[in-house]
Amino acid sequence: MLLLRFVLDIPPSPGHAPAPAHPVPLRSAFPELSAPADPLENPATDPLAFDAQTAFAEWAFRLEQSPLLRPRPWGSAFLVDPWPQRLPRELHPTVNDELQRRYAQQAAGAPHSLSWHTVSSQSRVRLEAHESALVLDVAIPVSTAAADAGPSLPTDVATLLQPLPLLQEADLLSALAPLSCWPLEVGTEPLLLARRALQRLGGLWYDDLRLLDVLRLYADHPLPSVRASTIAVASHVGYPLFLLERAACETDSLLRRVLHTVTAWVTPEMARAETPPGTV
């Protein structure tokens, strides 16, 4: 399998809402979409604001309309496509709606997601909702012949991805550069965009321990706002040992109160589970 992950570079939203806790209805439940607003045209827009629930609903609707994807998605409760293979192409609307609801179920503790297969290559395309980003995860079957010649994108996957506003990990890592520059003025655009990249990286590397290295790199940043971003990411991803460490050495009174709240539920077993093998 060739695995690819991207962050959808969508404009910030005026409000903020957590990722949805229940399956988002498909098709007719979604409102018609207008063209996304250019955030540069609205200087009052907060670059860190992100409405995960609304963004997920909008982009799930867009993907659902693509002729390159089979219109039978499934939720995170299923590791593989649960749709019966012998179902007829056309189903009675009542039956189809019931199956849509059944197979859109979500697993507790997993990012809210919907997955589709592409029509031609049978690649799996998954849309994930995270606290500060939407992530597109693509799994492409690679044949032995293709592996010998070097992996390439199937036509349907390349056509699907080409018009999308996608960011790769290299884009986010390069956007973190202002955090290493000092002095920085609080509230300036480079700082805000760098903090947004850090928080988006929390979605892209949700299950990648490289994220912990990045959080540790900026955990002692001179600006409390940057430290707040590391705390937000660690809390969302679930790094209790990191949060306990920060609670022991944080000097900002507001962040100390936040850390007290987010570590109140941490048990010793949970903290030990985060410790890498071979670490005392």
Chunk the chain into consecutive blocks of 10 residues (it has 280) and report each block's average pLDDT, rounded to whole numbers: 92 46 33 32 58 92 93 91 78 78 88 94 95 94 57 88 94 92 71 92 95 96 93 93 93 94 73 52
pLDDT at site 26: 33
- Classify 123 as helix, strand or coil: coil
Residues β-bridged to residue 127: 114, 136
Strand pairing report for 2-8 and 74-75: unpaired
pLDDT at site 213: 96
Residues β-bridged to residue 69: 118
pLDDT at site 268: 60
Q: Inter-axis angle of helices 224-237 and 240-249, to 10 degrees?
A: 150
pLDDT at site 92: 72
Please list, residue by residue across 179-206, b when 16 or more beta carbons sit within 10 angstroms of its beta carbon and e when fewer do. Answer: beeeebeeeeeebbebbbbbbbbbbbbb
